[in-house]
A = this chain, B = another copy of it.
Amino acid sequence: MTNKNEILKVAAQLIREKGYVGLSMRDLAKAIGVRASSLYNHIPSKQAILNEIILHLAEEFTSQIKNVATEQISSLTKLEQIIEHHVDLSLHSPNQLALLNNEWMHLEGQALVNFKTKRNQYEESLRQIINAGKSTKELKPLHTELVLFSMLSTLRNLNLWIKKRGSIPSKQLKKELSQVLLSGIA
């Protein structure tokens, strides 16, 4: 008795390992314990699997940052909350995050457009928070695009590393990661 959620979960893990194009419906079916044709009783196509996983997670990110953006807190506190959200999602959905980062180019049609829209919205929200922080002197007068790129690079790669972090508890990780990203290492 397969169900859609199980398919999406197993697919996320296997696509992370083999890539979207590299994973065949036969391999996916075998990992679940059915024949490939049975999968089509639960999902309409291979594309739909990628769409659901990526767009669901993209929505999760954009809705969170829009909430943070409207709060009446300092820019630094906003950045800390964004960092914490990335840590939480990286711990909870590492496979799905890997697809969001590395497989989005295999989306097609409206799904690809929707993904790009959400990604742009997320980056624009973060950009505005960084600029606000520069205005209030909470942040140094560095190029906004460089700060945005550097922060997002680390946050988007958390899913690759977070399981190898050893004994650091998640609460301390959030604190120390904020320190690294905001105050530097030197």
User: Which residues of A are at the interface with B, using a C-beta cutoff of 8 A?
Assistant: 17-22, 76, 102, 105-106, 133, 138-140, 142-143, 145-147, 149-151, 153-154, 156-157, 161, 164-166, 168, 173, 176-177, 179-186
Contacts of A181 in B (CB 8 A): 150, 184-185
- Number of this chain's copies in the assembly equals 2
Contacts of A139 in B (CB 8 A): 185-186
Contacts of A102 in B (CB 8 A): 102
Contacts of A168 in B (CB 8 A): 143, 146
Across the two chains, which residue of chain B brings its CB closest to A134?
A: B185
Across the two chains, which residue of chain B brings its CB closest to A17?
A: B105
Contacts of A22 in B (CB 8 A): 19, 21, 106
Across the two chains, which residue of chain B brings its CB closest to A138?
A: B186
Structural contact, A153 and B149, CB atoms closer than 8 A: no
4 closest Cβ contacts across the A-B interface? A184-B184, A153-B157, A182-B186, A21-B21
Closest-CB distance, A170 to chain B (whole angstroms): 13
Residue with the greatest number of chain B CB neighbours at <10 A, chosen from A102, A153, A181:
A153
A-B contact sample (4 more), CB < 8 A, given A146-B173, A150-B181, A154-B154:
A140-B184, A143-B176, A149-B161, A183-B184
- Contacts A105-B19, A183-B186, A186-B182 known; A177 to B150 CB distance under 8 Å? yes
- Please measure, in the bound complex, the distance between the C-alpha atom of A16 and the C-alpha atom of B31, giving whole angstroms: 28
Partner of A180 from the list B133, B138, B150, B177 (CB cut-off 8 Å) is B150
Closest-CB distance, A97 to chain B (whole angstroms): 13
